[in-house]
A and B are shown apart, each in its own frame.
Chain A
Amino acid sequence: MSTPDIIDTLAGIKPGSALDAIRAHRVQARDNAQKSYLSLFEPIDASDFSLVERAAVAAFVTGLHGESPVAAFYRSKLAASTDGARLVEAIEAEIARGKTSGPYGSFPAGPLSVENTAGLIYRVSAERRSALGPRLGAALEHAHLLVFRPRDASSADMKALLGAGWSNTGIVTFSQLVAFLSFQLRVVSGLRTLAAVNA
């Protein structure tokens, strides 16, 4: 494969190692996690969700999970993307404001309501809203919801994104990107933990 496997790179898995051998037993999963990454960050069509928006959302989402090789990777990706360097500081500041612990949120009213847990309802700060613009501002707010309180999502959140200029197709790719990163962060974290225990 031309591009190095991103999960192996971020988890520090070396060719020929025990974990490399275990991952080789799930070759379809490994190759298609890689293809998912490539289709999100090197898409054939970025017209509904620009490359700089993808990098900014990725830096925000991975940063909300705490400092890690994955967060550092996407922060560098943002800094290196066209028109991205100017956003790094704003994204870092918004990560600091948005950091909390999840999952929390509300269930549909009924027997599960006793499990409802309150938590931060994140909104982009007023002073950075204009620098980020309406599309990216709405994206960060929705990404925060997806990271920490996905069970709170409602049709009103879709309307907010549509109202901020997101297309239906853009919303699908954006949702996939945030959800994919939730997966990638955890696979990397799990594999790093296993490698460390065995070292």
Chain B
Amino acid sequence: MLRYTIPLIVFIGLVLFFADGLQRDPRQVPSPFIDKPAPELGVPRLKTPDQEIYRSDLLGKPALINVWASWCVACRAEHEVLLRLARETQLPIIGLNYKDKREAALQWLANLGDPYTTIAVDADGQVGIEWGVYGVPESFLLDPQGVIRYKQIGPLTWKVVEEELIPLIQSFETQGG
């Protein structure tokens, strides 16, 4: 009896192991930035290019950094979520306009609406490298101390907002942040 059950158990174990592996999304690379201070920005703002935006500008309350570009198809779907987020919460949304043309970016905002508190311009992708961005859209949730607490790879959905962002933001408040 044992000679049949042991291989069967081993086989079922392997099937479960591989099934788990196959269901993971290989695009979701765990970010080394979680619970680390956010990197510097130090780039011009989209609407007022003579002004720069720094990490220190984001401190004091939670903030969402959203990496986007007008050429990014997935950003279009995400845009609705960002607009709703801006409408329904107090969370400042800082855009990071990644490798985009200024006119195209401004046109996008004029057409689709502007959920951003302010937008930083990453013209050559240098800030993206500093932040470990490897595709747009990506979003980072910063706590009031400027520490990255959550990273979303790919478009934000309202489900993510409700299940991840809002509970985290509430936890910052209870921590007295």
Partners in one complex: no
Binding site for A on B (CB under 8 A): none
Binding site for B on A (CB under 8 A): none
